[in-house]
Structure 1
Amino acid sequence: MRKLTVFNFITLNGYYKGPGGDISWHKQITGEEESEYAKKGAQSRSALLFGRVTYEMMAGYWPTPAALQQNPGVAEGMNRSEKIVFSKTLKSADWNNTTLIKDDLVAAVKRLKQQPGGPMTILGSGSIVAPLAAESLIDEYQFMLDPLALGSGTPIFNGLQQQQLNLQLKDTKVFKSGIVLLCYQPAK
């Protein structure tokens, strides 16, 4: 069975994006160490899963000459990776190696997990995290915890239908910037 991981940047108060979808708060903190970590992750050959909003943001940046110049290692990995976008409204997904799935999210991910292939990673895309977490389809959660809080924003588990999601700490990594990588798996 294919492994499904979530990788997301969050604030101390659990937001993955600020008001109006703003994520610039993370870029203000990230240093060389985190960039190297991102480069390694982008080259892991994991299939990338997105909701529509994150897909459109990523597809609007990573294939551009600016991305290739500013962050060539990550851009190369992102552009080469298999990408799957879940959307009922998106008409097409033109970023290379992208499959658009309009079916039921949970049923589609259950099918993907059963198919042969390597690991899958949800990047950003909070809209698909909560429904997949509620169905116990996520095998690992990797959160880059930024040392700041926002007055408002969108929580990573926005819309979680169950009362409680129990996770068990698997690993940590502290970066010089103060960002902490927290790796969790569902508690048994």
Structure 2
Amino acid sequence: MARSRASGSKVQSLVKGAGMQRPLRYSINVTLDGCCHHEAGLPPDEESMSYWTAEMQRADALLFGRVTYQMMESAWRRPATGVWPDWMDGWEVPFAEAIDGAKKYVVSSTLSGADWNAELVRGDVGRAVQQLKQEPGEGLWVGGVTLPLALADLGLIDEYEFVVQPVLAGRGPTLLAGLRERIQLELVDRREFRSGAVALRYRSGGVSS
């Protein structure tokens, strides 16, 4: 634990000395009782998919852990024929095209390679992500559960966006479970959906004792 805290402090010191840099945004669906399993909330609809399409389009690149990368690839990679499958509704296509064409970075120590417009990230993930943040652009986006927890512990996430679903799951993985320190957040945007879901966007104020 002491080693991890020291690593986090080192990365945060790099952040403070880096000056202006593109922000790292974390977005995820979460139920009212904190479950972040991807099937726990409401099924996607045209309004929610339009929202997530915009999130993909405003990111210079996407960051995934291995599990999330493989799950997204299996669902949203364009078929070799170039034609989207019949099961996909027309309002899902813009999201599919946005995520399919996006630049991706995959954090994994087990994958031997990654395609789908993706590069592997190995070694010190904190230092690697900090280097990505220092490159020019509008922002980075991270999804999933395990990788965002590690990046939050390192103080590398600048914005948190939770699309809160009007559902009580009663089970499943909970959002950022195991976070070592409390992180103070500032609400900067709020949007309500017809489904009853609410998107809440927060700016990180850093670790709070």
Deviations 1:138-172 (A, max 9, x none): 1101110001122221122122122x111111110
Aligned residues: 179
Query: Corresponding residue for 2:198?
Result: 180
CA distance in 2, matches of 1:4, 1:144: 17
**Counterpart selection for 1:135 from 136, 141, 154:** 154
CA distance in 1, matches of 2:204, 2:88: 38
**Counterpart selection for 1:58 from 49, 56, 72:** 72
Query: Corresponding residue for 1:47?
Result: 61
2:185 is the counterpart of 1:167: yes
Q: Secondary structure at the match of 2:36?
A: strand
2:39 is the counterpart of 1:24: yes
Bigger radius of gyration: 2
CA distance in 1, matches of 2:140, 2:30: 20
2:176 is the counterpart of 1:157: yes
Residues 45 and 77 of structure 1 are in contact (CA less than 8 Å); yes or no, is this contact kept in structure 2? no
Structure 1 position 45, deviation (Å): 4.4
Deviations 1:4-47 (A, max 9, x none): 00010011121211xxxxx223353x332112212222332431
Calculate percent identity across the aligned residue pairs. 35
Runs of 4+ residues over 4 Å off in structure 1 = none
Q: Secondary structure at the match of 1:60?
A: helix
Q: TM-score w.r.t. structure 2 length?
A: 0.79
User: Residue type of the partner of 1:25?
Assistant: A
Structure 1 position 68, deviation (Å): 9.1
Query: Corresponding residue for 1:5?
Result: 25
Structure 1 position 67, deviation (Å): 8.3
Query: Corresponding residue for 1:146?
Result: 165
Residues 139 and 185 of structure 1 are in contact (CA less than 8 Å); yes or no, is this contact kept in structure 2? yes
Q: Secondary structure at the match of 1:157?
A: coil
Structure 1 position 132, deviation (Å): 1.3
Q: TM-score w.r.t. structure 1 length?
A: 0.87
2:47 is the counterpart of 1:33: yes
**Counterpart selection for 2:103 from 73, 77, 82:** 82
User: Residue type of the partner of 1:148?
Assistant: V
Query: Corresponding residue for 1:20?
Result: none
CA distance in 1, matches of 2:49, 2:137: 27
Show structure 2 runs of 5+ residues with no match: 1-20
Show structure 1 runs of 5+ residues with no match: 18-22
Instruction: Give the aligned CA root-mean-square deviation in angstroms.
Output: 1.8
